Structure 1
Amino acid sequence: MKPEYDFSNAEQGKFYHPNITFHYPIYLEPDVDNFLHKIAEEKNIDVQILVNELLRNNIRIIQSVQ
């Protein structure tokens, strides 16, 4: 690191976007990942679509018993 940095030409807020949506990674255990990839391949869909479908179904089930 330098002992001193020159920020005289810096732009404040250049990378700030108030309405941005953060997409965070989800790390699956290997057995779960393998299982989901197998099903997604059988259905000929992307794993992300499959995971979202499964989670939406779980949300519906949880909401139905509340």
Structure 2
Amino acid sequence: MEPTIEGAIALARSATGPLSPHLEAFINSLIEQQYSVISVRARSWHAAVSDAWLAEHGVGLTNVSDAHID
């Protein structure tokens, strides 16, 4: 299955963690900067995984630190 922009946007819309309100704007920013479809899809997947991890560990955006990113 080919990666698509629609798939990236659907992934963002299905997110429920603390990053979820920002994911669609993030994807639109990547599109506006003319990232390739595969790059948009990969970055949206990484953002969605990070969103899920933050939610699973009860970390809100204001509490994200360098330790979480590492």
Scaled to the shorter chain, the TM-score interval is 0.3 to 0.5
TM-score (norm 2): 0.38
Greater Rg by CA: 1
Structure number with the higher helix fraction is 2
Structure with higher RCO (Cα < 8 A, 6+ apart): 2
